[in-house]
Structure 1
Amino acid sequence: MFVESEGVRLSVHERGDRSAPTVVLVHGYPDTHRVWDGVVDVLAEDFHVVTYDVRGAGASDKPRGLAAYRLPVLARDLSAVAGAVSPDEPVHVVAHDWGSIQAWEAVTAPGARIASYTSISGPCLDHVGHWLRTRPTAAHARQLLHSWYVAAFHLPLVAPLVWRTLVGPRWGQVLRRLEGARAHASESVVEDGVRGMSLYRANFIPRLRSPRVRRTDVPVQLVHLLRDTYVTAGVLQDVHRWAPDLRRRTLDAGHWAPLTHPREIARLAADHIAAHTPPPASGER
């Protein structure tokens, strides 16, 4: 089905019992909802599981211009999907990479209808901006080195050309070489990768230059992937300042854990969801 958000149609997919708690999974760059396939297979046994292609990716619309990819807009997309699939109850959110970055925007919005949040390899950019303003340490230097690609994506002609001609057409091979991960079937990965660079250009510099105060009372589970080559432990160390109801977990996996370790990711998500789901009333499921 499709859900409309601010004139953009988002391709949405549902699995599992609709009477069960709803879990919305948000994918990152340069993926589509298919990155969650293995996780969905496990979670759908106990939950109503929803995935969607974020704007600019997969079967969803691909608006032009950086304004269409700013974090508040992406957060409203998540809210639109959540409202469509679970109009009466708050949803649980599990997000990875850029999906996690944009989900933080929704989780830290006042009145968010989110029952719990599991964040995987995608920090809140405002939190990162504040962290970068603390006394410089080796952890800061390490994260900056691991974020080389962010600067590369801001090159207006070179980055799209390299992705379109070299990286995108070989994305499956790249993932296998980097992490032994088998890429999900996405015929649109070349265009998705080029369009998705707008996420970086629309948000990184404004948020790191002028970080906002983004706090939340939503119960947050922070999953640190020990072999993540993009998000280091340092950038996650201050999250408790902004999310006091915080649960930290580690997983011995690389960045694309939803592909390489779907059962482990599903287990971590299910445990956090169960801890923040009220028991059914008498006579209900």
Structure 2
Amino acid sequence: MKVSVTRFGFAQVGELQWHYAAAGHQDEPLILFLHGFPEYWGVWRAQIEAFASQFHCVAPDLTGYNLSSKPKEVARYRTARLVDDVAAFAGLFRQKRKFTLVAHDWGGALAWAFAIKHPEQLDRLIIINAVHPGAFQREVARNPAQASASQYIHALRAPDAEIQYAADDYALLWRSFAEVEAAGQLSPELRAGLRSAWSQEGTLTGMFNWYRAMRLTPPRGADASAETSTQYPDSAMMVKVPTLVLWGLRDHALLPGCVEGLEQWVPDVTVQTFADYGHWISLETPDLVTGAMRAWLSGSSDGAGSATAVTAG
């Protein structure tokens, strides 16, 4: 049974305010949805409506996005600070219980970091096309194709990124959603929501500040022999939470190597790949993603270990 998004609000997160959308009964287990770049809470509408009959579903606009606060200091977008934001926000809804975290892209990078720091707060973790920091560190150092594919990060860190990406009615941002549009899933509602989010004062700077604050950046150029800007030991990247990774293999920015060997850092991981979809798989084929999430959430994670299933979309 689908339950429409019916509640919107603002929550105090430290010195910031986060805007959020919610559905489902507040006494049900919490699922927290974290969007990526260049998105807003509305990209999760299909999943919220699918799970709100059994869970309390909450999807915020992350720091710097849409209707949430947009601090000007780049340092405020460091991952450690953003993890604290998530912890403060989740604490308002989880009623001291463990919760499920679902995340895509930058939201996924944040979710990985949250799971590393706060495993005791999580019941399950679901990641959609967001690379684990250990895998990213390995791939940009050893795989020339990934080092080349990651060069876009430097463009998004550039001082004039706002000007470049606002030009021609956000043409470069719309280009990111070409596969979603080709799949017939860039609805008028989603298109209007994205445009409205990007048009909020300070949002473009807030979005790009996530990239400007990155510590783990690829070497410039496709020199895979160079190291990333920061090196983390494996011991600092362990995820001790049952984890499902859903991955569209046609992702042009995060190549298939990003999901290889994840059990090195995530002992209890299930990786499900989809050959016919790309980075925006949760938008391209929402029913398929929702079904995979539901099947995994309804199963037992105890002793699940590492498994990889390949699904041709």
Deviation of the 1:195 alpha carbon: 2.1
Structure 2 contact 139–147 (Cα < 8 Å) conserved: no
- Map of 1:175 onto structure 2: 177
CA distance in 2 between partners of 1:167 and 1:272 (Å): 40
- Map of 1:106 onto structure 2: 114
Aligned pairs (5 A) from 1:67-216: 67-133=75-141, 136=142, 140-157=143-160, 159-166=161-168, 168=170, 171-172=173-174, 175-176=177-178, 179-180=181-182, 181-182=185-186, 184=190, 185-186=193-194, 187-190=196-199, 191-205=202-216, 208-212=228-232, 213-216=236-239
Structure 2 contact 31–100 (Cα < 8 Å) conserved: yes
CA distance in 1 between partners of 2:21 and 2:249 (Å): 30
- Deviation by residue 1:164-191 (Cα, 9 ceiling, x = unmatched): 2236267446624675241621312155
Match of 2:186, SS state, is coil
CA distance in 1 between partners of 2:11 and 2:203 (Å): 19
Q: Greater shift after overlay, 215-224 or 17-26?
A: 17-26
- Map of 1:234 onto structure 2: 257
Counterpart residue type for residue 59 of structure 1:
L
Q: Greater shift after overlay, 167-176 or 6-15?
A: 167-176
Structure 1 contact 40–49 (Cα < 8 Å) conserved: yes
Counterpart residue type for residue 81 of structure 2:
V
Deviation of the 1:271 alpha carbon: 2.4
Structure 1 contact 115–276 (Cα < 8 Å) conserved: no
CA distance in 1 between partners of 2:261 and 2:179 (Å): 32
CA distance in 2 between partners of 1:241 and 1:174 (Å): 31
Q: Greater shift after overlay, 198-207 or 117-126?
A: 198-207
Q: Greater shift after overlay, 64-73 or 79-88?
A: 79-88
Deviation of the 1:262 alpha carbon: 1.4
Structure 1 contact 21–91 (Cα < 8 Å) conserved: yes
- Map of 1:281 onto structure 2: none
**TM-score between the two structures when normalised by the length of structure 2:** 0.79
Structure 2 contact 165–173 (Cα < 8 Å) conserved: no
Q: Greater shift after overlay, 184-193 or 245-254?
A: 184-193
Q: Greater shift after overlay, 172-181 or 53-62?
A: 172-181
Counterpart residue type for residue 73 of structure 2:
G
- Map of 2:309 onto structure 1: none
List runs of 5+ in structure 2 lacking aligned partners.
1-8, 219-227, 303-313
Deviation of the 1:42 alpha carbon: 1.2
Match of 1:266, SS state, is helix
Q: 1:253 to 1:199 in 2, by over 3 A?
A: same
Match of 2:214, SS state, is helix
Counterpart residue type for residue 198 of structure 1:
N
Counterpart residue type for residue 149 of structure 2:
H
Q: Greater shift after overlay, 174-183 or 105-114?
A: 174-183
Match of 1:89, SS state, is coil
Counterpart residue type for residue 206 of structure 2:
R
Structure 2 contact 137–216 (Cα < 8 Å) conserved: no
Counterpart residue type for residue 50 of structure 2:
V
CA distance in 2 between partners of 1:68 and 1:219 (Å): 29
